[in-house]
């Protein structure tokens, strides 16, 4: 609901908005526009000439087996990370909600991964699973399972998924816990009086009431898994071995900065922009509709 | 808990403790590794603390891995601190005034400004790396604190949080302020800002962590080792090319890299949970 009482000044609001607007235009809008433009251009190998090629960069992307592979890797990675992070967080939050006193202690302990950078989380897990000296790798080898994520692509993917999910669980946990604590006890008590056990109470009453939080977290987790996990891949596996962990966001960086193929990298950026725009619009629409001022 | 069920209570604590162990275990192993010598880490990492805590940390903070091509961790920590503080304070400062302008004034193109700012939510750094890098390079901002911080300052989450909050501030406050003859800046500074304390506190925590944990952007924008930040510099310590990685020093650096944000979060837990979760409910 817009404000009824406003100030009549004309120049002042412009001055107030100016810094943010300026930075936004210079560092966000202008580069994004450039990416759009670059994505329809083709440069020669020395960068000396460019010419307009329309959607050719995009068509070549779709036909490129490496790109399709990266899409598949990304889908697996995103699906597994989001699923794991949300399920584990929901379980922990449901348990923490039952605890009553001591919630703050558990919450303090479980909150730490939120503060840890994805790249650092990746390094931590890489160290645990290091084939030569890693503690967990040692246990796996003692159990007869040969773990070497430097050579085995599937294992490398599992490792980055674990690191990414581990980090995100605490963020989800916070929101799930707050959502659970907001559900009135009376509803659960009424169900208990009617004879519902704790399991039935959870799945048929609490979980549906939690759905706004779940939806909100789902979108946020998707954005996290698509974009913020660049650090994990770059620091731990470098996209390898043999591109087994090359996610879309990593590919943009690799093709652009390392491969110096600007047109292709720009086209990939545009695709990613479309994805994140879709997710953000969905989230904003949903949140705006539900919030009352 | 609706009815007492001892079996379920035991399960509850069991699951939670397991969760805590899973969270703490990687951190514990890293801490242990940082207290041993490099030789004892050539085979399996032991699970108990070694005795070289101070020695390792001192080495890492001072000379660091300079011999192996890394920068001194002390320098990197300083860069991270400057970057994190600049981003946190910078973002809050420009967002709060923007949100104020958009909510409390009527000016031409007001909604256009709003949507332009909204656009930034859809453009995380990862989708515009090359062109933003080019802009920063053209402005001669590479390898500088300005280049590290300014391009990250304008995103819209803080603006939205403030806008959301301002919309819930009762009309009467602005009315009485105007009746009493207060101008907009006075109203802003003396009434609105103090009211926004919780939101500001939560944002300081969230944005500090965001700034400290930046990885991709410092990676692109700094080539001079003296400007590396600690989170991005870690990779170079962990994957050293031509010698066995000095795991004990690398892990000491990891602990140093993750300590400040964790300390901030644990201490400021209450504010930040409130400020983050309240607006979403």
Express each pLDDT in A225-284 by its tens digit: 888 888 888 888 887 788 888 888 888 888 887 877 777 788 888 888 888 888 878 777
Fold category of A61-290 in CATH: MetI-like fold (1.10.3720)
Kindly state whether residue B170 falls inside one of the protein's structural domains. Answer: yes
Across B126-149, b (16+ Cβ under 10 Å) vs e yields bbbbbbbbebbeeeebbbbeebbb
Kindly state whether residue B270 falls inside one of the protein's structural domains. Answer: yes
pLDDT band at B63 (very low <50, low <70, confident <90, very high): low
CATH of the domain at B88: 1.10.3720.10
Nearest to B8 among A4, A110, A198 (CB): A198
Q: Are A159 and A149 in contact (CB under 8 A)?
A: yes
| 8 Å CB contact of B131 and A31 | yes
Residues 6 or more apart whose CB falls under 8 angstroms from that of A16 comprise B97, B98, B100, B101, B105
* Residue A7 β-bridge partners: B105
With a cut of 60, say whether residue B196 has pLDDT above it: yes
Predicted complex ipTM: 0.81
Model pTM score: 0.83
Tokens 């002042």, located at residue: A12
d(C-alpha A88, C-alpha B16), whole Å: 11
Share of chain A above pLDDT 90, in %: 8
H/E element, B190: none
d(C-alpha A28, C-alpha A46), whole Å: 27
Identify the DSSP state of A51: E
With a cut of 90, say whether residue A83 has pLDDT above it: yes
Kindly state whether residue B180 falls inside one of the protein's structural domains. Answer: yes
Contacts of B47 in chain A (CB under 8 A): 135
* Mean pLDDT score, B199-210: 88
Of A48, A43, A76, whose CA–CA distance to A265 is shortest?
A43
With a cut of 60, say whether residue A121 has pLDDT above it: yes
φ/ψ of residue B105, rounded to 5: -130, 160
Select the residue from A15, A127, A220 to test the B interface by mutation, using most B Cβ atoms within 10 A: A127
Contacts of A213 in chain B (CB under 8 A): 280
| 8 Å CB contact of B135 and A293 | no
Contacts of A1 in chain B (CB under 8 A): 167
Q: What is the pLDDT of residue A292?
A: 39
Contacts of B261 in chain A (CB under 8 A): 115-117
Select the residue from A8, A9, A16, A149 to test the B interface by mutation, using most B Cβ atoms within 10 A: A16
Kindly state whether residue B121 falls inside one of the protein's structural domains. Answer: yes
**What are the boundaries of each domain within chain A?**
61-290
Q: What is the pLDDT of residue B281?
A: 45
Kindly state whether residue B26 falls inside one of the protein's structural domains. Answer: no
Kindly state whether residue B157 falls inside one of the protein's structural domains. Answer: yes
Nearest to B122 among A125, A185, A280 (CB): A280
Interface list for A 109-148 with B (CB within 8 A) = 109-121, 123-128, 132-135, 138
One-character DSSP codes across B19-40: HHHHHHHHHHHHHHHTTS-SGG
- Work out how many domains chain B is built from and give that number: 1
Residues 6 or more apart whose CB falls under 8 angstroms from that of B244 comprise B38, B42
Comparing A248-262, B4-18, B38-52, the range with the smallest average pLDDT is: B38-52
Q: Which residue range forms the structural domain that includes residue B247? A: 67-280
CB atoms under 10 Å from CB of A286, counted, come to: 14
Peptide bond into A234 cis (omega under 30): no
């Amino acid at each position: 609901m817009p404000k009824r009482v406003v100030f009549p000044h004309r120049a002042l609001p412009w001055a107030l908005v100016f810094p943010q607007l300026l930075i936004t235009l210079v560092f966000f809008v202008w580069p994004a526009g450039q990416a759009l433009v670059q994505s329809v251009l083709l440069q020669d190998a020395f960068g000396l000439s460019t010419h307009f090629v329309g959607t050719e960069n995009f068509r070549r992307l779709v036909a490129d087996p490496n790109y399709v592979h990266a899409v598949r890797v990304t889908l697996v990675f995103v699906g597994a990370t989001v699923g794991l992070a949300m399920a584990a967080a929901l379980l922990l939050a449901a348990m923490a909600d039952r605890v009553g006193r001591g919630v703050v202690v558990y919450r303090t302990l479980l909150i730490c991964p939120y503060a840890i950078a994805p790249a650092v989380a990746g390094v931590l897990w890489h160290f645990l699973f290091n084939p030569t000296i890693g503690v967990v790798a040692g246990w796996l080898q003692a159990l007869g399972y040969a773990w070497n994520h430097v050579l085995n692509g599937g294992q490398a993917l599992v490792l980055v998924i674990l690191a990414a999910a581990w980090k995100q669980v605490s963020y989800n946990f916070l929101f799930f816990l707050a959502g659970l604590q907001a559900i009135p006890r009376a509803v659960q008590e009424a169900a208990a009086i009617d004879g519902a056990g704790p399991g039935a109470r959870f799945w048929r009453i609490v979980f549906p009431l939690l759905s706004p939080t779940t939806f909100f977290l789902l979108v946020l987790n998707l954005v996290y898994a698509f974009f913020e996990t660049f650090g994990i891949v770059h620091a731990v596996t470098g996209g390898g071995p043999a591109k087994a962990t090359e996610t879309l966001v990593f590919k943009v960086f690799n093709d652009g900065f390392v491969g110096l193929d600007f047109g292709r990298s720009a086209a990939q950026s545009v695709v990613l922009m479309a994805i994140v725009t879709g997710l953000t619009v969905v989230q904003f629409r949903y949140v705006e509709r539900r919030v009352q001022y | 808990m609706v009815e007492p069920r001892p079996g379920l209570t035991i399960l509850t604590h069991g699951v939670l403790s397991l969760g805590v162990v899973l969270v703490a275990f990687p951190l514990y192993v890293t801490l242990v590794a940082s207290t041993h010598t490099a030789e004892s880490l050539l085979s399996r990492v032991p699970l108990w603390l070694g005795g070289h805590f101070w020695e390792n940390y001192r080495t890492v903070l001072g000379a660091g891995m300079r011999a192996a091509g890394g920068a001194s961790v002390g320098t990197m920590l300083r860069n991270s601190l400057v970057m994190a503080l600049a981003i946190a304070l910078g973002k809050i400062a420009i967002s709060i005034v923007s949100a104020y302008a958009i909510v409390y004034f009527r000016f031409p193109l007001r909604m256009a400004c709003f949507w332009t700012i909204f656009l930034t939510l859809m453009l995380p750094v990862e989708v515009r790396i090359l062109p933003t890098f080019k802009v920063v390079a053209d402005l001669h901002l590479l390898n500088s604190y300005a280049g590290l911080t300014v391009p990250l300052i304008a995103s819209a989450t803080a603006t939205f949080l403030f806008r959301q909050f301002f919309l819930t501030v009762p009309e009467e406050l602005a009315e009485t302020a105007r009746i009493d003859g207060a101008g907009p800046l006075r109203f802003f500074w003396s009434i609105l800002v103090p009211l926004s304390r919780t939101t500001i506190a939560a944002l300081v925590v969230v944005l500090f962590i965001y700034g400290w944990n930046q990885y991709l952007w410092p990676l692109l924008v700094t080539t001079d080792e003296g400007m590396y930040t600690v989170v991005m510099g870690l990779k170079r310590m962990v994957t050293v090319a031509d010698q066995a990685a000095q795991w004990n020093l690398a892990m000491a650096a990891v602990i140093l890299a993750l300590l400040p944000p964790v300390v901030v979060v644990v201490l400021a837990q209450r504010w930040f949970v409130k400020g983050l979760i309240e607006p979403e409910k």
